[in-house]
Amino acid sequence: MLRSSVISMVTIADLSKHPVDGFSAGLVDDSNIFEWSVTIIGPPDTYYDGGFYNALMTFPSDYPNNPPSVKFISEMWHPNVYPDGKVCVSILHAPGDDPNGYELASERWMPVHTVESIVVSIISMLSCPNDESPANVDAAIEWRDKKDAFKKRVGRIVRRSQEML
């Protein structure tokens, strides 16, 4: 647990000294280093452009051996985000071989990943949804077959996220 504490505090300090475009992160509560609040700005030239999306990043006690979980608390409509807001990207999956045979072990969690690499992966996910392995089947079908309806729905979410500021 001490190792996780040190790693988390170093990561927060690094993010403060070297902010990364497109997101901000910090502790939800100073007494709990395992739960972070993250705000992701919708990537330019995507349907999510201009939106502000809040998420919780929760680190397990054995971090960095296992990945944190990320869950949007802002409304999100995306093929790779479960209806409850949980993000589904490869680097957030437990290390090792994929029991379903879909992902290579090298695509899954590795202790070298950082908060920055996780959020960059999520920003990339917003830019390029993977509708072949969806967490939200309805969003994937709409993304694939009804782009105008998908774009309109996400546009409403972007506007609501801006009104929340």
Q: From first to last of the 165 residues of the chain, give the pLDDT tens digit.
A: 444 444 454 466 556 555 567 888 888 998 888 999 999 999 999 999 999 999 999 999 999 999 999 999 999 999 999 999 999 999 999 999 988 888 889 999 999 998 888 999 999 999 999 998 899 999 999 999 999 999 999 999 999 999 987
Closest CA to 119 of 17, 39, 16: 39
Question: Which CATH number goes with the domain that contains 30?
Answer: 3.10.110.10
Radius of gyration of the CA atoms of the chain, in A: 16
- Mean pLDDT, the chain, as a whole number? 89
What SS3 class is residue 156? helix
| The model's pTM | 0.87
- Distance (Å, rounded) from C-alpha 144 to C-alpha 165? 31
Mark out the alpha helices in 101-146 (DSSP H runs).
115-127, 137-145
User: Which range of residues forms the domain containing residue 120?
Assistant: 2-163
Residues annotated catalytic, as ranges: 88
How many domains, the chain? 1
